[in-house]
Amino acid sequence: MRDGEPLIRWEWIGDHVGELADYTGIHLRLGLLPVLFGLIISVPLGMLCHRWRWIYPPTLTAANVLYSIPSLALFMIFVRYTGLTERTVMIPLTLYTLSVLIPNVVDGLASVPEPVRQAATAMGFSTVRRVVQVELPIAVPVVVAGVRVAAVSSISLVAVGQLIGQGGLGYYITRGLQLDFPTPIITATVLIMLLALVTDALLVLAQRLLTPWARGKGATA
Amino acid sequence: MNDLLNQIELVGDWLTSSQQWRGDDGIPHRLLEHLTYSGLSLLFATLIGLSFGLLVGHTGRGAFAVASVANLARAIPTFGLVVLVVTLAGLSTTPVLVALVALAVPPILINTFEGVRGVDPDTRDAARGMGMTGWEVLLKVEVPMALPLILLGLRVAAIQVVATATVAAYPGLGGLGRFIVDGLARNNYELVIGGSAVVVVLALVVQAVFTALRRVIVSPGLQPSATRS
Amino acid sequence: MIRFDAVSKNYPNGTTAVDELSLELAEGGITVLVGPSGCGKTTTLRMVNRMVEPTAGTVSLRGQDIREIAAPELRRGIGYVIQHAGLFPHRTVLDNIATVPLLLGWGKKKARARAAELLELVGLPGDMAKRYPYQLSGGQQQRVGVARALGADPPVLLMDEPFSAVDPIVRGELQAEFIRLQKELHKTIVFVTHDIDEAIKLGDNIAVFRTGGKLAQFDTPERLLAHPADDFVADFVGHDRGIRRLSFVKAAELPLREGTVLPADSPVARARALDEPWVLVVDDGRRPLGWAAVAELPDGGTLADANLAPLGHTFSLVGDSARAALDAALLSPSRLAVGVDAEGAVVGVADAYELSAAMAEDAAVGDAAVSDTAVSDEAEVRVAKSDAGGGER
């Protein structure tokens, strides 16, 4: 850092409000779409794992192995196929969410009390209806707990995508390093944290609205 | 499919060329750097996270603070933090290590805490009732019972540290990330993909080490109930 | 042995768990603390091994104030069994049982040998030693819990609702096993339960607590049933306490008639001559065969030709209590109870009315005898009970 350079130049933020807002939007898209895709994959996969228990350990191991691969390496492997596009960032991020979402879907379904399951069957629910109308709603608090963890870490990981030119607010982090100018780095880092925390809070709120019967329970990750 | 084979061939060529195995820019040296960053920061993070986690879990005091710190820490973008540290403190190992430690402490801390706090109150009561001192309860009952979660915390921390140490090459540090960053800068795809392969192998080894560790040191009596991860 | 002197436990939020408790527990007996939830019974138990420290008063063990002994040291000398056993999930059954010996520094080999011995004592097969707690049923876990408490052969055992988390059948087995063990070991046992039946079944003395941590009555089970101190105790021991106290009257003391008993080879005419509605038919060894309804007997021949109604069940004059006799009378087709001796031969019969009159007398005499002496004169009572209770247990 240059001598005499302040940590934050507030006027820089004022000059870049519009641009920051644009990048914030991109960042949210890059961070949250993978969580949505992850959920689309994890719910059916988790249901299969719940139904056929033996699939679960290998599935979980596979998800954990994917999660252990550093994002930078995974981005590079996908660049070959999907180029320097947003998809190259979102595919690995989607894969990362699986190691959190699949176990939470399975645990959520396991949290459905057996008497409830049997009562639903006894009342004449078909298997599909029972799963969709009874079991999944009861599993929501546990699943949301997983979504919160996945969303927060996904939002924070997006920034690394800047190394292939697709990092949302990560743009300001590399920019700041190149210019030896801390203001954009701090601004972007703080903004990313805020995005993560606000998303987390909104998810808690959404869960309370979705599952009024479960208030105060299962809301922790 | 052909393309995948091409890629594997590319990695193979890169790995087998002798220049990759010599000097400061060779795989052994970069791997050693990477392991040094990761190992040291993991060691310090374990000392900090484990002792505070055990303390808070055992006494039950400060639980809220631990949960808040962990929640907040998860939201910090690691890339931003590392770049910021280098910008502010210059390109040297210690500040980056501090950043890595800061990233690795929360998962260890929160899982250790949860593991100890999750010990069945009846079991803890029985342990005290049989005449165990506070230390004996901690070391003979709480720690062994919390081990599955403690190991989970260590594994998550290790994975994050290894990944972030890769990213740390971007602002100019060594380690395996150098291959990727340099490859990108020089438009040398062979270097990028070769470096990525080495990083992937290291990550898989870390994952395998923790799986094995769990098999060896967690009591078989805890395995069935310990499927949460 | 264990003595409470004006012991109170108050919590900062203003609740009183135990209020001015004074109690002396005799050596070698089972004292049951019983009462509704929130009555301070568990708190009282936990004050004995300093899991809870009293806010006022003194608890002493063999004359020594327990505050003078370091808590871990005190606890290693007192067995402790809790409701869900609280086994260590990460240790094998054998190592769970060896816990206290190891804490006392016995050395692995000796501790494990002792543990193996205890495993057998509580009635578990030796091959369970290597299992982990999750591989055991609730009842088996509870047995391991008891074995673990006996690890260092402590003279005192504290048991906090040890059998309440298992189903009634297993509970019955565990209780029977526990009584057998106690006959062998003669520990001083403090036992907490909310179940008055369990208290009466197991206790040599019973302390009934009321909400607010006050001792309502401390007595033998017999006296508790005969003379509840107040309405609370009467209500708590239940409306069938009259029947329950019959458990403490020996069947041998009941008056029996012999008239209505006839051998199978007796002619029918002889049965009619007795002028009774029912005749008990016995074989050569006077073992009961069944009841003959006199009105339905054939015109001639012997009783061997008659259709006999089944006996229901008999009661034994050697082991059973008056409660078994009354039950036998109520279940018999003739409403007559059949008393047999040790060989199973009929001694006589009695109806429910005769039985209850005799019991009332007997109980009154028993009460007078007890109330003349000190409450803690339990030796005599215990003898009477172990005789009378044989059939119940």
Residue C382 scores a pLDDT above 70? no
Do chains C and B meet with 3 or more Cβ pairs nearer than 8 Å?
yes
φ and ψ of C204, to 5 deg:
-85, -35
**What amino acid is encoded at C280 in this protein?**
L
Cβ-based neighbour number of residue B130 at 10 Å: 26
Interatomic CA distance for residues B143 and B145, integer angstroms: 5
Written out in words, the top-level CATH class of the domain with range C2-248 is alpha beta
pLDDT at A115: 85
Interatomic CA distance for residues C101 and C112, integer angstroms: 9
C202 touches C178 (CB < 8 A): yes
| Own/partner pairs, B118-123, CB within 8 angstroms, 24+ separation | B118/B146, B118/B149, B119/B145, B119/B146, B120/C84, B120/C86, B120/C89, B122/C82, B122/C83, B122/C84, B122/C85, B122/C86, B123/C86, B123/C87, B123/C88, B123/C89
Interatomic CA distance for residues A179 and A1, integer angstroms: 9
Q: Residue C160 carries which DSSP code?
A: E
Residue C247 scores a pLDDT above 50? yes
Average pLDDT over residues C316-331: 84
Distance from CA of B203 to the nearest CA of C (A): 30
pLDDT at C45: 95
One CATH from 1.10.3720.10, 1.10.340.30, 3.30.1180.20, 1.10.1040.10 for A21-214: 1.10.3720.10
| Structure-token pair, residue C327 | 């039950």
Residue A220 scores a pLDDT above 80? no
When mean pLDDT is compared over A39-43, A178-182, C254-258, the highest value belongs to A39-43
Distance from CA of B39 to the nearest CA of C (A): 29
φ and ψ of A7, to 5 deg:
-60, -45
pLDDT at C372: 38
Q: Where are the alpha helices (DSSP H) in A69-158?
A: 71-82, 86-110, 114-122, 127-130, 136-157
Nearest residue to C52 via CA among C217, C213, C218: C213
| A193 at interface of B, judged by CB pairs closer than 8 A | yes
Distance from CA of A136 to the nearest CA of B (A): 19
Residues with Cβ within 8 Å of residue A56, at least 6 apart in sequence:
A49, A50, A106
Encode pLDDT of A161-177 as tens digits.
998 899 999 999 999 99
A-facing residues of B in 1-30 (CB < 8 A) are 3, 7
| B99 at interface of C, judged by CB pairs closer than 8 A | no
Average pLDDT over residues C26-36: 92
Cβ-based neighbour number of residue C257 at 10 Å: 14
Measured between CA atoms, the residue of chain B closest to residue A174 is B83
Contact A72 B229 (CB under 8 A): no
Interface test with A, best of B83, B206, B209 (most A CBs within 10 A): B83
DSSP H/E element including C214? strand C214-219
How far, rounded to the nearest angstrom, does the alpha carbon of residue A85 sit from its chain's CA centroid? 19
Q: How confident is the model at residue C367 (pLDDT cuts 50, 70, 90)?
A: low
> Following CA atoms C161, C166, C168, C170 in sequence, which dihedral angle do they give, to the nearest 10 degrees?
-110
Residue with tokens 């029947």: C243
DSSP 3-state assignment of B170?
coil
Give the β-pairing of C64-65 and C56-61: antiparallel
Q: How confident is the model at residue C378 (pLDDT cuts 50, 70, 90)?
A: very low
Nearest residue to C82 via CA among C24, C40, C141, C10: C141
Interface test with A, best of B87, B88, B151, B198 (most A CBs within 10 A): B87
C146 touches C83 (CB < 8 A): no
B150 touches B178 (CB < 8 A): no
pLDDT at B224: 54
Interatomic CA distance for residues C139 and C165, integer angstroms: 9
Q: What is the CATH number of the domain that holds B26?
A: 1.10.3720.10
B-facing residues of A in 58-87 (CB < 8 A) are 60, 64-65, 67-74, 76-77, 79-81
pLDDT at C190: 96
Q: Which of A71, A167, A185 sits opposite B84 (nearest CB)?
A: A185
| A198 at interface of B, judged by CB pairs closer than 8 A | no
Encode pLDDT of B60-107 as tens digits.
888 888 888 887 888 888 889 989 988 888 888 888 888 899 889 999
Rounded to whole angstroms, what are the CA distances from A93 to A90, A103, A158, B208, C336? 5, 17, 8, 22, 84
Q: CA-based angle B125:C124:C391, to the nearest 5?
A: 100
Q: How confident is the model at residue C369 (pLDDT cuts 50, 70, 90)?
A: very low
Domain layout of chain A by residue ranges:
21-214
Of all residues in chain C, the percent with pLDDT exceeding 90 is 45
Residues of B in contact with A55 (CB under 8 A): none
Q: Which of A1, A103, A163 sits opposite B87 (nearest CB)?
A: A1
Measured between CA atoms, the residue of chain B closest to residue A67 is B159
Residue with tokens 């119940």: C392
Average pLDDT over residues C144-170: 92
| Parent domain of B118 | 2-226
Cα four-point dihedral sign B122, B124, B125, B131: positive
Per-residue b/e over A122-158, b at no fewer than 16 CB within 10 Å?
eeebeeeebbeebbbebbbbbbbbbbbbbbbbbbbbb
Residues with Cβ within 8 Å of residue B70, at least 6 apart in sequence:
B106, B107, B109, B110
Residue C48 scores a pLDDT above 50? yes
Q: Which of C90, C103, C158 sits opposite B132 (nearest CB)?
A: C103
Average pLDDT over residues A52-74: 90
Q: How confident is the model at residue C67 (pLDDT cuts 50, 70, 90)?
A: very high
Q: How confident is the model at residue C362 (pLDDT cuts 50, 70, 90)?
A: low
When mean pLDDT is compared over A114-123, A209-218, B1-10, C216-225, the highest value belongs to C216-225
B109 touches B69 (CB < 8 A): yes
For domain C252-356, is the CATH number 3.40.190.10? no
Contact C132 B127 (CB under 8 A): no
Q: How confident is the model at residue C1 (pLDDT cuts 50, 70, 90)?
A: confident
Nearest residue to B127 via CA among B115, B113, B137, B114: B137
pLDDT at C246: 78
In which residue ranges of chain B is pLDDT below 50?
225-229
Average pLDDT over residues C178-202: 92
C51 touches C42 (CB < 8 A): no
Q: Please give the mean pLDDT across all residues of chain A.
A: 89
Distance from CA of B142 to the nearest CA of A (A): 22
| B88 at interface of A, judged by CB pairs closer than 8 A | yes
pLDDT at A31: 96
How far, rounded to the nearest angstrom, does the alpha carbon of residue B16 sit from its chain's CA centroid? 29
Q: How confident is the model at residue A218 (pLDDT cuts 50, 70, 90)?
A: very low
Average pLDDT over residues C23-37: 91
**What amino acid is encoded at B92 in this protein?**
S
Q: How confident is the model at residue C318 (pLDDT cuts 50, 70, 90)?
A: confident
Q: For the whole model, what pTM was predicted?
A: 0.77
Residue C373 scores a pLDDT above 70? no
φ and ψ of C22, to 5 deg:
-125, 125
Residue C387 scores a pLDDT above 70? no
pLDDT at A1: 63
pLDDT at C381: 37
Q: How confident is the model at residue A130 (pLDDT cuts 50, 70, 90)?
A: confident
pLDDT at C343: 86
Do chains C and A meet with 3 or more Cβ pairs nearer than 8 Å?
no
pLDDT at C364: 58
C322 touches C315 (CB < 8 A): no
Residues of C in contact with B224 (CB under 8 A): 134
Q: CA-based angle A21:A22:A27, to the nearest 5?
A: 95
3-class SS string, C55-113: CEEEEEECCEEHHHCCHHHHHHCEEEECCCCCCCCCCCHHHHHCHHHHHCCCCHHHHHH
Domain layout of chain C by residue ranges:
2-248, 252-356
Interatomic CA distance for residues B39 and C225, integer angstroms: 71
Number of domains in chain B: 1
Q: Residue B73 carries which DSSP code?
A: H
Residue with tokens 């768990």: C17
| B220 at interface of C, judged by CB pairs closer than 8 A | yes
**Which of the two residues, A43 and A76, has the higher pLDDT score?**
A43
Interatomic CA distance for residues C256 and C315, integer angstroms: 12
Q: Please give the mean pLDDT across all residues of chain C.
A: 85
Interatomic CA distance for residues C92 and B221, integer angstroms: 7
